[in-house]
Amino acid sequence: MEVLIASADIHRRVCELGSQIARDYPSSRPLLVGVLNGCICFVADLMKAIAIPHEIDFVSVSSYGASSTSNREPRLIKDLEREIAGRDVILVEDIVDSGHTLHFLRAALLARGPRSLRIAALLDKVDRRERPVPLDYVGFQVPDRFLVGYGLDFAERFRHLPYIAALTAAEAAPDTAAPQEVA
């Protein structure tokens, strides 16, 4: 495992994104919609960095499971708690890979008639995109490697790490020795 983005660098960038969002919504109360489970660290830090009134809600989309390859047919497995018609909505996602998840979610939410819909993604694996997705707020562009930490998991492990790390090819392969955290 190799650390790619240190905790302090994540914090600094998330604060910048929060300030930018606060500036962009001077007179409405945006609704942040976190995409569970990977968004948890990002959305928690982002909301503290948005110094204007806003609300949060969550959706969950069927995920990769224990595999590190992409699930091509996302499914909504937990819906929003509230109506978004007429609201300014910001989808908050940990990482955009193929783009299938956000392409699906964006269409599903747009069908409900929000006033606006933007997307905030902490990480953008830009080389992997298969579906175009407009990203309005991006933390970092990242290489095509399997990343863990700060909410991102590998088979439900490593979400708690305060930094973003990349697994080696051997660590990300199935049926190999479990990866080790960096101390």
Binding site for ligand IMP (CB under 6 A): 35, 38, 63-64, 70, 93-101, 146-148, 152
Burial letters 115-134, b for 16+ CB under 10 A, else e: eebbbbbbbbbeeebeeebe
Shortest CB 85 distance to ligand IMP, Å? 25
Q: Rank residues 30 and 38 by Cβ distance to ligand IMP and give the closer one.
A: 38
Nearer to ligand IMP, 34 or 114 (CB): 34
User: What burial class does residue 47 get, using C-beta atoms within 10 Å of its C-beta: 0-12 exposed, 13-18 middle, 19+ buried?
Assistant: middle
Residue 151 lies near Mg ion (rule: CB under 5 A)? no
153's tokens? 């998991």
Binding residues for Mg ion, how many (CB under 5 A)?
3
Asked if 94 touches Mg ion (CB under 5 A), the answer is yes
Q: How far is the CB of 36 from Mg ion (least distance, A)?
A: 8
- Please list the alpha-helical segments (H only) found in the chain: 7-24, 40-49, 100-110, 169-172
